Amino acid sequence: MKKRRSVILSLLFSVLLQLLSTAVFASGTDTLPDTDSIPALSYAAGDSAPDVSAASAILMTEDGDVLWERAADTRRKPASTTKIMTALTVLRSETELDTCVKIPAAAVGVEGSSVYLYEGEELTLRHLLYAMLMESANDAAAAIAVSVGGSVADFADRMNETAVSLGLENTHFENPHGLDNENHYTTARELALMTQAAMKYDEFREMVSTYKMEIPLKGNEGIRLLVNHNRLLKSLDGCIGVKTGYTKASGRCLVSACTRDGVTLICVTLNAPDDWNDHTALYDWGFAQVERVTLSEVGEQYAVLPVVGAVTDAADGDAMAAVRNEEGLSVVLSRTGQDISKRVLLPRFLYAPVTAGDIVGYVVYYNGKTEIGRLALYASESVELYKKTTIWETIKAILHLKI
């Protein structure tokens, strides 16, 4: 009978201990919110949004939150803004950019903008990308396509595969340069998403933001001076590119990105007669709507937790472990209507041994009811196991914590 009572008490104690150890310092819930259904932030354009000349346009944050749009899902000819996807496809292929490319006959004399490549001359893939993105060189785009994809048609297939991988449903490419084709189209929204993906590559950012540079001409025979077609680089505060485009069928096309006060916005206008002013006006309006908000600094401490069963020199017998984040967190939010809160999800105590760097909980940030970010919380120090404790020793330790 005594043995059975002892077993029952042990089981009850185990259940109690498990419940206590999973309690959290948060009101309302003891489980992490569902991360698969976090809604995107949204911003209302309001009466103050500028009028623009573009038939289709979009302004969004680098994180993908749309601030303003017009006919953003209408399929249109992208002209040379196509070259954003050409560059992205190359970068995603992880082809070495300093690879030497012998210019093929298929890249010589291509219609439209050109750096006048010669068949058989050699340039690096990096040089060709600069020529394509700065001078909008169609011959450089063709040389890139043949070098990386084997042919213009096969490389276009790769571009379409990249589009599918990005979840783009209204985009299709027939070539790497953007010359008009009935089956060559995209939308303002999907061009912005391509740009968002390309901007993750430092090489792309550097190329589209370079205003002037030189590349070789037929080996050592001379140099080609490249000058970026994007005049916003000189006229717009914080501009970092991205790509111009024009054909008679497409009208003026422009994709740009701009950074101010830690916020990066992406703007796309298609068939826009006054595109330079459209972008300038949209950025001035957009940056007035949003700001970067720091939610947590790097290494911020969130708690100091007792550690049960640990080596300690403390007079009261309790070992303690500080809990910190290892990454800072900041987000872009609307300047109005902010209602920021956080929920710290941690156990009430830890079991020894504890290793520095162990994830022991999370902090989740909200704007109203929308989750806007989360950080893992780590033990900042190691705590060694003292010895195996008996049930009664563990009970005494828990009671000493005054739970």
Q: What amino acid positions are annotated as catalytic residues?
A: 80, 83, 136
Q: Which two tokens stand for residue 97?
A: 């950019």
Across-strand partners of 159?
none
Residue 330, SS3 per DSSP: strand
> Crossing angle of helices 138-149/83-92, nearest 10°?
30
What single-letter DSSP state applies at residue 310? B
Measure Cα distances from 357 to 20, 362, 364 in Å: 23, 13, 19
For residue 195, give the H/E element and its range: helix 188-198
Q: How are beta strands 350-351 and 301-308 bridged, if at all? A: parallel
Burial level of 220, CB count in 10 A (0-12/13-18/19+)?
Answer: exposed
State the alpha helices, DSSP H only, in 252-297. 275-289
Q: How many CA atoms lie within 13 A of 91 on its CB side?
A: 20
